Amino acid sequence: MQWSAIVPVKAHHEAKSRLASDPHGREALSRVFLSDVLTALQGSELIGQIIVVTDEDDLVVLGTPRIRVKVLISQGLNEDIQQGLDLIDHGPVIVLTSDLPCLTTHALDAVLAFANDHRLAFVSDAQGLGTTMLLAHDATTCTPLFGVRSHARHAQAGFIEITGVEPAIHVALARARRDVDTGIDLWDAQRIGVGPATSALLAAKS
């Protein structure tokens, strides 16, 4: 299957308030996290199009034949995602957060392969309370319920959690689940291995 990907992006100056005291530092981290997510998506032959939904005007520069940037007035995370879903006609879709610096194309493809067996699926965050990825074989059946305890809310709505103890999916899920909200999260992401943009920024800061 060829999947469409939707990446919701909060305005960078508002993002990652728990990650660093310096707003400019938070903005820089937010941008490189997004860059590494987009790199992973663009490397996958399973991803047909990428839709970035954001209230950040300057992200229009990311637009390419493969990446569509929809700038909107944010009504909330789920509402913004729904605007992206409305651009897709009945095809398979993956919604993923923009703060997954450990994500690689290989890990993404492993998640997509496991999702082939489930009409609706999701990937939990590293804490097991939230959600980093939401997948549906038909975009019109995808109802995003991100926010507080979204793990439970998506499970109750019929989404099947992607899990597995096999080495391949275990490693892939470690990368797919590692969102970054705090300094400890960032330390753990570095332990797992971050993408080139995040790695370069952190090296420059050290």
> In whole angstroms, what is the distance from residue 110 CA to residue 93 CA?
15
- The residues, any chain, with a CB within 8 Å of residue 130's CB and separated by 6 or more, are 124, 146, 149, 150, 151, 179
Instruction: Please report the pLDDT score of residue 204 as a whole number.
Output: 92
Instruction: Please report the pLDDT score of residue 96 as a whole number.
Output: 98
The rounded average pLDDT for each run of 10 residues, N- to C-terminus, in the chain (206 residues) is: 94 62 75 97 98 94 94 94 94 97 98 95 97 98 96 98 87 96 93 98 88
Q: What are phi and psi of 70, to 5 degrees?
A: -105, 110
Q: In order of start, what are the domains of the chain with their CATH numbers?
A: 3-200 (3.90.550.10)
Please choose, from the candidates 58, 45, 46, 62, the residue with its C-alpha nearest in 3D space to the C-alpha of residue 7.
62
Instruction: Please report the pLDDT score of residue 206 as a whole number.
Output: 73
User: Are 179 and 102 contacting, i.e. CB atoms less than 8 angstroms apart?
Assistant: no
User: Are 58 and 13 contacting, i.e. CB atoms less than 8 angstroms apart?
Assistant: no
> In whole angstroms, what is the distance from residue 199 CA to residue 205 CA?
10
Per the document, the length of the chain is: 206
Instruction: Please report the pLDDT score of residue 10 as a whole number.
Output: 87
Instruction: Please report the pLDDT score of residue 167 as a whole number.
Output: 84
Other residues' Cβ atoms within 10 Å of the Cβ of residue 125 = 21
